[in-house]
Amino acid sequence: MRPGIALIGLLVCLLSGTGITGPGRPAEAATTERVVVNRFSGIAIEGFDPVAYFVEGTALQGTAEFEANLWGAVWRFRNEGDRASFLAHPEIYGPQFGGYDPVDIARGVTIAGNPRFFAIVAQRLYLFSREANRDAFAANSERFLYEVGKRWPALYEQLGQ
């Protein structure tokens, strides 16, 4: 292949936002599935341990050593205890709405949450696409959850079709 053609292909990938993943750029998340996963690896919430949000109060990476498959996704954990807790109570530890941003759902769209922007409200984990969405949700979670309750069933049915 000629270097010029390879450069053009690289530029197309960069400009279109597809095809390149690296340390500074997370892999694209699938937004047509009922649980947000990395479209290339099948890993949920970018490999962050969902139980760590509750136990440590922060987003911490899990490892390939402690994985579980559930809801069509691969979940990673920091240790066997977190893995066991998740498998015993996935409805508690798993992100609500499959990891989609509840603020965006309230607006009628499904946008993948970023596991770095999270909130725990009423013992449930919520992920947000932007920090501003997390802050808005924290200020009035009841209003957003009311709106989500009206829109989520129809959006959920559209996912995975």
Per-residue pLDDT of the chain in tens (161 residues, 90 and over written 9):
444 444 344 333 333 333 333 334 344 454 558 899 998 999 999 999 999 999 999 999 999 999 999 998 999 999 999 999 999 999 999 999 999 999 999 999 999 999 999 999 999 999 999 999 999 999 999 999 999 999 999 999 998 76
Please give the pLDDT value at position 56.
Answer: 97
Count Cβ atoms below 10 Å from residue 68 Cβ, excluding itself: 17
The closest of 28, 76, 69 to 52, measured between CA atoms, is 76
Query: What would the two tokens of residue 13 be?
Result: 């990938």
Task: Find out whether 125 and 54 touch, Cβ atoms under 8 Å.
Answer: yes
Please give the pLDDT value at position 16.
Answer: 37
Query: What would the two tokens of residue 6 be?
Result: 């390879």
Please give the pLDDT value at position 139.
Answer: 97
pTM: 0.80
Query: What would the two tokens of residue 107 be?
Result: 């607006």
Please give the pLDDT value at position 106.
Answer: 97
- CA gap 51, 92 in Å, rounded: 9
Q: Which residues contact 79 (CB under 8 A, 6 or more apart)?
A: 66
Backbone torsion region of residue 59, taken as left when φ is above 0, otherwise alpha when ψ lies between -120 and 50, otherwise beta: beta
Please give the pLDDT value at position 18.
Answer: 37
Please give the pLDDT value at position 34.
Answer: 87
Please give the pLDDT value at position 136.
Answer: 97
Please give the pLDDT value at position 1.
Answer: 46
- What are 127's strand-pairing partners? 118
Task: Find out whether 97 and 154 touch, Cβ atoms under 8 Å.
Answer: no
